[in-house]
Amino acid sequence: MLFKVEMDVNVPLDFDPAKFEELKAAEKAKFQELQKAGTWRHIWRVVGQYSNVSIFDVESNAQLHDILVALPLYPFMDVRVVALCRHPSSLHDDDR
């Protein structure tokens, strides 16, 4: 199942900068692990914001939920999820 996931990160200004750097490094490692597995298929930065738009390929809603809540920066995220499916006018035979 494909999902578009929009993530906005909102870290409090008084949050410990060293701890934030640790969380960002852990987030990057988790992202790369999921990307290598094909689960976090795409990621794009939103210009001028601490946000991204991503495409996930997962087996279920529950799997996506479990992935998102386990992200190191999740406590600071506003997340919006949209289920996707292949458009009938697409030139491609699959969702890849």
pLDDT in tens, 53-81: 999 999 999 999 999 999 999 999 999 99
> How many C-alpha atoms does 89 have within 13 Å on its Cβ side?
0
Based on the structure, what is the number of domains in the chain? 1
pLDDT tens digits, 79-92: 999 999 888 888 87
Q: 3 with 55: CB under 8 angstroms?
A: yes
Q: Dihedrals φ, ψ of 15, to 5°?
A: -70, 140
Host H or E run for residue 7: strand 2-9
Question: What residue numbers bound the domain in which 63 lies?
Answer: 2-84
Q: Distance between CA atoms of 61 and 81, rounded to whole angstroms? A: 10
Residue 34 identity (one-letter amino acid): L
Task: Give the CATH number of the domain where residue 43 resides.
Answer: 3.30.70.1060
Q: State the pTM of this model.
A: 0.90
Task: Give the tokens for residue 26.
Answer: 């852990």
Q: Flag whether 8 is in a domain.
A: yes
